[in-house]
Structure 1
Amino acid sequence: MIKRNTVFAVLIGILSMTGMALADETPPSPTMWYWHNWSDHDGISHMTRCPIRDFDLKTMSKPAGPQWQNRLKEGPAQVIFTVQPAHWNGVWHPDPKVQWIIPLKGSWYVTAMDGHKVVMGPGEVSLGEDQLSRKDQQGRIGHDAGNVGVGPVELMVIQTDETPTSDQPCRFK
């Protein structure tokens, strides 16, 4: 007859080899990603894919269970919902404020002055921070943005009171 402790030890070993965790074990901290549209010291905008990693496992409101949270910065913000009509194109322009942009429906693109174009769909996140960009020889400033496809695009925009920076890609972690 096999002892219960032996079976339990074998089960733990199998779970650890397969990467599975026991229910009461804390899962590893997650990594999320966002696109950062930032400007360098020459005033040229760039798109960089950035990780968010500094999560804490805690409740937002008791008695709700804990969830991974990363509070980037406290401060005033304004939430704006936008619906860009079909075939919308924003032409070259800088973001009005440091702002987080999350597509809710449809896909849109952002092209930085360095030529890097990123297409984003529902659930992807972009940080617009190209206010310090300057016109280049082609007359471009900031970024070009527009809809992908034939339908409208719904976005949630969270404008912050952050001061724009230069030469700091991925400054929020």
Structure 2
Amino acid sequence: MIKPGTIFAGLAGLLSVVGMARADETPPHPTMWYWHNWSDHDGISHMTHCPIRNFDLKTMSKPAGPQWQDRLKEGPAQVIFTVQPAHWDGAWHPDPKVQWIVPLKGSWYVTAMDGHKVVMGPGEVSLGEDQLSRKDQQGHIGHDAGNVGDDPVELMVVQTSDTPTSDQPCRFK
């Protein structure tokens, strides 16, 4: 005969072995990633893969349960949803404002002035902050962007009132 609780105790042990936390344990701090399109002091844009690690486990609104949160900066923002037509070509341009860009459907690319090209798909995050870039010898400024594939690309853009910086890759951690 199996004692009451034996199956559940065995299951809890198995979950801890495979890395899943029990309900009464605090899960490990997460790390998320974003691409930062930033400009250096010479006005050249770059793409850097940056971690977000300063999470606190707390509720956003009681009685909802706690979730990991990293509040990067408070302040006004505007949310914009865009649909770029198939084969959209953004040409070379700086971001209009410091803005977070999240692809929702489809893939798009960003190429910085240093030649680093990043292709991003749904759920990846990019911080556009190349407003301080300056035209190079080829006439490039900011970044080149466009769609990958034959379908439209849906993006969510969160434009902020942040002042653009230079020489600060990964400034939001």
Same topology, TM > 0.5: yes
Partner of 2:146: 146
1:15 and 1:81 map into 2 onto residues whose CA distance is: 40
Q: Percent identical across equivalent pairs?
A: 88
Counterparts of 1:40-119 in structure 2, within 5 Å, are 40-119=40-119
Q: Give the alignment's TM-score, normalised by structure 2.
A: 0.90
Q: In 2 relative to 1, CA 18–84 (structure 1 residues): closer, same or farther, beyond 3 Å?
A: closer
Shift of 1:66: 0.5
Across the two proteins, how many residue pairs are aligned to each other? 169
Q: In 2 relative to 1, CA 19–156 (structure 1 residues): closer, same or farther, beyond 3 Å?
A: closer
Partner of 1:134: 134
Runs (4 or more) in structure 1 with deviation over 6 Å come to: 9-15
Verify: 1:35 aligned to 2:35, yes or no: yes
Letter in 2 for 1:32: M
Partner of 2:3: none
Partner of 2:160: 160
**Is the 8 Å Cα contact of residues 16 and 22 (structure 2) preserved in structure 1?**
no
Shift of 1:20: 4.2
Deviations 1:117-156 (A, max 9, x none): 0000011000000000000000000000000001111110
Q: Is there any run of 5+ residues in structure 2 with no aligned partner, and where?
A: 1-8
Q: In 2 relative to 1, CA 67–167 (structure 1 residues): closer, same or farther, beyond 3 Å?
A: same
1:73 and 1:119 map into 2 onto residues whose CA distance is: 26
- Identify which range, 21-30 or 77-86, moves more after superposition: 21-30
Shift of 1:19: 3.8
Question: SS of the counterpart of 2:101?
Answer: strand
Shift of 1:16: 5.7
Letter in 2 for 1:96: P
Q: Give the alignment's TM-score, normalised by structure 1.
A: 0.90
Over the aligned positions, Cα root-mean-square deviation in angstroms equals 2.1
Shift of 1:22: 3.0
Letter in 2 for 1:112: A
Shift of 1:113: 0.2
1:122 and 1:147 map into 2 onto residues whose CA distance is: 13
Q: In 2 relative to 1, CA 24–108 (structure 1 residues): closer, same or farther, beyond 3 Å?
A: same
2:102 and 2:15 map into 1 onto residues whose CA distance is: 37
